[in-house]
Structure 1
Amino acid sequence: MKIAIAQLNPTVGDLTANSQRILNAAEKAAEAGCHLLLTTELSLTGYPPRDLLIRPSFIEATTEKLQQLAIDLPPQIAVLVGTIQQNLDYQTKGGNPIFNSAALLEKGKVKQYFQKRLLPTYDVFDEDRYFEPGLESDFFVLEDTLKIGVTICEDLWNDELFWGKRNYPCNPFQDLAHLEVDLVVNLSASPYQVGKQKFRQSLISHTAKRYNIPILYANQVGGNDDLIFDGCSFAFNKNGDKILSLKPFETDFAVIEFDTQTQDLIANSNQNQDIKLIENEDQEIWLALVLGVKDYVQKCGFSKVVLGLSGGIDSALVAAIATEALGKENVLGVLMPSPYSSDHSI
């Protein structure tokens, strides 16, 4: 049974373009004979949508776009879309008016929702401000045979054996294991930090091996203002071995197969041939900065940038990053000499 991962770079708030990205990936997955497409966390709205989420008109527009997307998708494939979902108990029971959810779209309809249970509110995250936490973990059955548990980002980050303690009262993955699912998928928007990918993989490998359940992880890529998302989606089999990697700092698409006989994901030897390995932290940081600048300019609708250059190494580095991100024809360097500028700088 084939499953596709779409590592997407959404633009926050651009529902039409984000929906089209999902549709394009679904059509590609359908052509490849896939039964399911996995997208990233809040792939329809972009992450993080922040105060757009307090606008009733935005919530309504997202709901309408999701329903239209369900109609437009190829009928032979199911798609998990990261989106927001209205909390129908909000006015009578209080709490927040929306959930951070994954929606299962199939045969023209929104078939099922899965709510994110663990809402990070630390560092760059502020999800308690906007979202109501989900109360239970759930799964769906694909092709009447495969039980797939659904988690969203932080839901995978609460294994007390890995951390040495629990950071939240519940462990959504453990709850899914008790439901005897065959596979767990995770829709994620995990921001980049130096060395974070190794840490992510260590955590997911530990979890897959502990529960003997394979895991598919789809992470957002792209720059959104002060945050950069590195992509690097992956798959681990139930032995805790990584068998699939998607590209760092680029949009990507990959197909992997679930073997119903062994109840495990199967590695494809041809899948990772195009992946260029990152050699060191300097290269990793360089790729992150280039992506951040490129997306900031393009998503804000700019076409060119102007840089004041001093002749020193700092401004030279900024010019190099901008040129790599935008092309030299779109970068104008301006010299602003003073009586104290050296001949070398000029």
Structure 2
Amino acid sequence: MTVLRVALAQLNPMVGALDANLARLIDAYDEAEAAGCDIIAFPELSTVGYPPEDLVLKPGFVEDNLEVLDRFAARTRGCAAVVGFVDQDRDIYNAAAVCVNGEVVGKYHKRLLPNNTVFDEQRYFTAGHDSDPLELYVIGGVKVGISICEDIWSPFGPVAEQAAAGAEVNINLNGSPFATGKGAVRERLLATRAADSHCAIVYVNQVGGQDELVFDGGSLVYDHEGTLLARGVQFAEQLLIVDVPVPPVYRKRLLDPRGRVTEAMLPVVEVSAVPVRHEERVEELASPISEPFDADRELYDALVLGTRDYCVKNGFSDVVIGLSGGIDSSIIAAIAVDALGAEHVHGVSMPSRYSSDHSRSDAQLLADSLDIECRTISIEPAFTAYIEMLADSFDGREPGLTYENIQSRCRGQLLMALSNEFGWMVLTTGNKSEVAVGYFTIYGDSVGGYAAIKDVLKTRVYDLCRYVNRREGREIVPESVITKAPSAELRPDQRDDDSLPPYEVLDPILELYVEDDRTAGEIVELGHDAEMVRRVTRLVDIAEYKRRQCPPGVRVSRKAFGKDRRMPITSGYRG
């Protein structure tokens, strides 16, 4: 039985950083070559980082990426490399190149271009077509097929076609972003695809944050029967090296109607320069199967990685957070410390005449637990000045909500002043529940550079705070923060549930309306109170203009506000 030694380079590229990405490719390649690998697989579009979006509309950018590919290929030796890049002839393609012994020996153009959720690849690329025939590559004595991301999701796509025509291993390059629950879906899919095609699957995925997206890695290898051979770590770079057994599969294909060869055999490229090194290996590798994270850790680590990469890749070493003593600013501070280090996180308590003593003390307790700086800047002088300036205009009126929003905007101005002066990025603290229904002040608590929990419902924020305490074995987030009723503290004795339904009621309705695209009528039919549903969905609809002016944040759900959910601001539909 032949054994193919494969390296999966689970890398964290930066979109557009071509030279830095090339250095990462070369370092991983050299390590795989030294380990006696037959082949190394890199993620989708790894020369340019994924997704490059409108950068690929710049001809100069595409040319530069082709130069990077040539420079990488020139460094290759006996270990073959499959690397993602942007190809061009009459059009541009999401492509993979097979490189060995100093040259590019073959190319593959992605056949199935996703145009859903956060993907809009049909805006940029042309799909591989009949004039771009599929090929197999003999590497280490094994027939290898190449595919890219979406190609493997279709049971009748290129992977099945290649397998039916003789492929024994399929290398699948990915830029697959994280969403809660997606890992289990991937694993079921890949196991099924491997078993149905009787072809081993090598699935390499990108890791890291890119604007709103975060990629979780978790690369996978399955044998020809759909048995898991290897699972990469989540949310970290890794060179995963796996020995893939490749027995003759013709008997299994002949006896199984799913795998009977019905296609004409594909052209085979003999990558003859690659030595078959199986006999030279001193020992066989143990199968590296990393345990998947539980739901709380997975979500938390996704937020940490997304926040870290957004800050670092955009040149920010430090962040500043308004610490209110509430649950949202508490989890943001914990995420920031894990992302950047305590010395790079600056907390600001900004009390007003309505701030309670326990909120101030809770903010200080949190700062002490995290060992971060916490300064106090009262907004009372500015708030008083606004009241005096507006007194004549508001004569005879009770401003009410206006005064609440003024306080929030005073705080936003202070945070932005510190950001401007010291170069710190402001992390906003709004969660998905509040962002959904517009329970925030535009140009106030919404100001900032990044919204780390923008896609996390309020009830999950509480779960994450409990997770942080459980992980550390002590109170990082004070228990009083977790147990007290949430409040913006912008008027006497204010509570969130004065203006909103309890979050235990609100969040399930939001999941159905925002993430599942149910209409208000459909949600009522599922058993939710009709008046409550009408109220909540109306709040979501009228807050669209506010959300458009909010900073980006990490996408972790099935559907996030931003590039994932694109609703018209002006709309008369109420469902």
Same fold judged by TM-score > 0.5? yes
| Equivalent in the alignment of 1:122 | 116
Matched, 1:309 2:323: yes
Note the residue ranges of structure 1 that are not aligned, 5 or more in a row: 91-96, 160-169
Matched, 1:300 2:296: no
2:15 alignment partner, SS class:
coil
Matched, 1:322 2:336: yes
* Structure with higher RCO (Cα < 8 A, 6+ apart): 1
Aligned partner (choices 251, 257, 260) of residue 237 of structure 2 = 251
| Equivalent in the alignment of 1:18 | 21
Aligned partner (choices 94, 98, 101) of residue 107 of structure 1 = 101
Contact 1:45 1:62 in 2 (8 A): yes
**Whole-angstrom distance in 1 between the partners of 2:247 and 2:191:** 22
The alpha-carbon deviation at position 291 of structure 1 amounts to: 0.5
| Equivalent in the alignment of 2:436 | none
- Equivalent residue pairs, number: 321
Contact 2:230 2:287 in 1 (8 A): no
The alpha-carbon deviation at position 185 of structure 1 amounts to: 1.1
| Equivalent in the alignment of 2:195 | 209
Aligned partner (choices 319, 339, 345) of residue 353 of structure 2 = 339
- The structure that has the greater radius of gyration is 2
The alpha-carbon deviation at position 330 of structure 1 amounts to: 0.3
Give a deviation string over 1:211-259, Cα, whole Å, max 9, x none.
1111010000000000010000010111111110100011111111233
**Whole-angstrom distance in 2 between the partners of 1:176 and 1:277:** 30
| Equivalent in the alignment of 1:63 | 66
1:301 alignment partner, SS class:
coil
**Whole-angstrom distance in 2 between the partners of 1:270 and 1:83:** 29
Matched, 1:269 2:286: yes
**Whole-angstrom distance in 2 between the partners of 1:281 and 1:147:** 38
Contact 2:174 2:203 in 1 (8 A): yes
Residue type of the partner of 2:242?
Answer: I
| Equivalent in the alignment of 1:4 | 7
**Whole-angstrom distance in 2 between the partners of 1:300 and 1:253:** 26
2:357 alignment partner, SS class:
coil
Matched, 1:141 2:114: no
| Equivalent in the alignment of 1:80 | 82
Q: What does 1:172-183 align with in structure 2 at a 5 Å threshold?
A: 172-183=158-169
Matched, 1:224 2:210: yes
2:70 alignment partner, SS class:
helix
Give the ranges of 4+ consecutive aligned residues of structure 1 lying more than 4 Å apart after TM superposition: 260-264
Residue type of the partner of 1:10?
Answer: P
| Equivalent in the alignment of 2:153 | 157
Residue type of the partner of 1:297?
Answer: C
Contact 2:318 2:345 in 1 (8 A): yes
Contact 2:170 2:201 in 1 (8 A): yes
Give a deviation string over 1:76-124, Cα, whole Å, max 9, x none.
21111110100x2x2xxxxxx2000001111111111101000000110
Residue type of the partner of 1:134?
Answer: G
**Whole-angstrom distance in 1 between the partners of 2:286 and 2:101:** 32
The alpha-carbon deviation at position 260 of structure 1 amounts to: 4.7
| Equivalent in the alignment of 1:94 | none
**Whole-angstrom distance in 2 between the partners of 1:281 and 1:107:** 44
Residue type of the partner of 2:286?
Answer: S
2:36 alignment partner, SS class:
coil
1:2 alignment partner, SS class:
strand
| Equivalent in the alignment of 1:187 | 173
**Whole-angstrom distance in 2 between the partners of 1:190 and 1:33:** 28
Give a deviation string over 1:319-345, Cα, whole Å, max 9, x none.
110011110000000111111111011
2:229 alignment partner, SS class:
strand
Contact 2:70 2:103 in 1 (8 A): yes
Contact 1:243 1:268 in 2 (8 A): no
The alpha-carbon deviation at position 72 of structure 1 amounts to: 2.1
Residue type of the partner of 1:308?
Answer: G
The alpha-carbon deviation at position 269 of structure 1 amounts to: 3.3
| Equivalent in the alignment of 2:32 | 29
**Whole-angstrom distance in 1 between the partners of 2:217 and 2:245:** 26
Identity %: 41
**Whole-angstrom distance in 1 between the partners of 2:152 and 2:188:** 12
Contact 1:3 1:255 in 2 (8 A): yes
Note the residue ranges of structure 2 that are not aligned, 5 or more in a row: 251-283, 361-575
**Whole-angstrom distance in 1 between the partners of 2:305 and 2:84:** 22
Contact 2:223 2:244 in 1 (8 A): no
**Whole-angstrom distance in 2 between the partners of 1:335 and 1:126:** 42
| Equivalent in the alignment of 2:449 | none
Q: 1:277 to 1:178 in 2, by over 3 A?
A: closer
1:306 alignment partner, SS class:
strand
**Whole-angstrom distance in 2 between the partners of 1:270 and 1:260:** 15
